[in-house]
Structure 1
Amino acid sequence: MARPSEFDRDEAIASAIRVFARHGYEAASTSDLIEGMGIGRQSLYGAFGDKRRLFLEALRRYSDGSLAQMSEALAGGGPAREAIEAALLVGLGSSDDLETGCLGVGSIVEFSRGDPEVNALNDAAAALVVAAFAARVQDGIAAGEFAPALDPHAAGRMLLTLRSGLKVAARGGAGQDELREAARLALRGL
């Protein structure tokens, strides 16, 4: 009979996300993961299979959490433009704490389109983000905040691209004021 896990799986995955955000997939060693997660080698392999399975689970969890943060910001009361700005700026990370980097953007940069499972996770997350932005843009059109001819899905795709760029800029050292200014400039274009 297998022994029960002696660690909190949710905490271990949260720690793995930080390790992968700091190092990337390839450069994160098993030793880095074991140390960062506070678990033994056998526990890592027993609970997650291997580094790749752990990474995929961490990426899925990171994407779910990021989407939840954005969805909460988009659901906020007030004008659509303000809600979209809040969603663009939530959870960007910073250069002061490399473990807050975006695992999704990092995986796209590291894997490009070379890994079907990573692609599937990132594509699904992107589709949900675009749909969430598009719905709020549609609300803004209905409220007269945005031009009636604006294509909500095209705007949603642009906002996803902007958010990804803001995450890279934050990781590169851009401060909150600079990031907010970039978001507001883009939103004026809607």
Structure 2
Amino acid sequence: MARPREFDRDAALQKAIDVFWAKGFAATTTDDLKDAMGIGRQSLYNAFGDKRQLYVEALRTYQRGTTSGHLHRLIEPASPIAGIEELLVGLIDEDDDRRLLGCMGVGSVSEFGSADPELTALREKVAPVLHEKLLARIQEGQRTGEIDSTLDADEAASFVQMTMTGLQTAARAGGSLDGLRRLARFSVDRLKAK
């Protein structure tokens, strides 16, 4: 008879996310994972499969959580321009150590590019959802006069998504809290009606 698991799978997965987020896929060893997760090698394999399968699950879980947060910050404010500002400023963690991690998703793109079809498919599930919501908020802001009506709304949504990537990369490179917030607000100002 198989022994029951002696660990909380969700808590262990969160520890794996933290390791992959900090180190990336290639630099993370199985020993790093089992030590952080507080489980043995066999338990890791039994519960999550190999390192690759664990990484994909970790990235999927991370993306689900961050995308939900992005959408909440974007949609919650009544003002479209305030929603976009909340989205961008909300990316920038106040904690220096957390901010230096940047974004696990951006890290994955940096590490794998488009060479890995499974990871590319994961990205292709979330990016259009955010783009669609950004597009709707930008069009709403154009209708209410908050956002420059001469802008191509689709291009503006892509600009905001590119800004998100840039902010996360700059955070990983050591960007300061104040400096990153200024860049986020500068980007939002480019969208405002004159």
TM-based fold match above 0.5: yes
TM-score normalised over the length of structure 2? 0.90
Q: Does 2:94 match 1:90?
A: no
Aligned to 2:64: 64
Q: Give the Cα–Cα distance (whole angstroms) in 2 for the partners of residues 135 and 155 of structure 1.
A: 11
- Structure 2 matches for 1:24-173, cutoff 5 A? 24-93=24-93, 96-97=97-98, 100-173=101-174
What SS does the aligned partner of 1:96 have? helix
In structure 2, the gaps of 5 or more residues are none
Q: Give the Cα–Cα distance (whole angstroms) in 2 for the partners of residues 66 and 31 of structure 1.
A: 27
Change (3 A) 1:44 1:145: same
Q: Give the Cα–Cα distance (whole angstroms) in 2 for the partners of residues 8 and 153 of structure 1.
A: 43
Q: Does 2:189 match 1:188?
A: yes
Aligned length: 190
Q: Give the Cα–Cα distance (whole angstroms) in 2 for the partners of residues 138 and 162 of structure 1.
A: 18
* CA displacement at 1:96 relative to structure 2: 2.5
In structure 1, the gaps of 5 or more residues are none
Q: Give the Cα–Cα distance (whole angstroms) in 2 for the partners of residues 134 and 9 of structure 1.
A: 37
Q: Deviations over 1:91-114 (max 9, x none)?
A: 444652478431100110000111
Q: Give the Cα–Cα distance (whole angstroms) in 1 for the partners of residues 2 and 99 of structure 2.
A: 36
The one-letter amino acid of 1:119's match is T
Q: Deviations over 1:149-189 (max 9, x none)?
A: 43322212111110011011112222222112111211222
Change (3 A) 1:175 1:57: same
Moved more, 150-159 or 112-121: 150-159
Q: Is the contact made by 1:130 and 1:157 (CA closer than 8 Å) also made in structure 2?
A: yes
The one-letter amino acid of 1:184's match is R
RMSD of aligned residue pairs (Cα, Å): 1.8
Q: Deviations over 1:28-50 (max 9, x none)?
A: 00000001111111111001111
Moved more, 77-86 or 96-105: 96-105
Q: Give the Cα–Cα distance (whole angstroms) in 2 for the partners of residues 44 and 72 of structure 1.
A: 33
Aligned to 1:9: 9
TM-score normalised over the length of structure 1? 0.92
Structure 1 runs of 4+ with >4 Å offset: none
Q: Is the contact made by 1:95 and 1:171 (CA closer than 8 Å) also made in structure 2?
A: no
* CA displacement at 1:24 relative to structure 2: 0.6
* CA displacement at 1:75 relative to structure 2: 2.0
Moved more, 41-50 or 180-189: 180-189
What SS does the aligned partner of 2:17 have? helix
Q: Give the Cα–Cα distance (whole angstroms) in 2 for the partners of residues 68 and 74 of structure 1.
A: 10
Q: Is the contact made by 1:19 and 1:99 (CA closer than 8 Å) also made in structure 2?
A: no
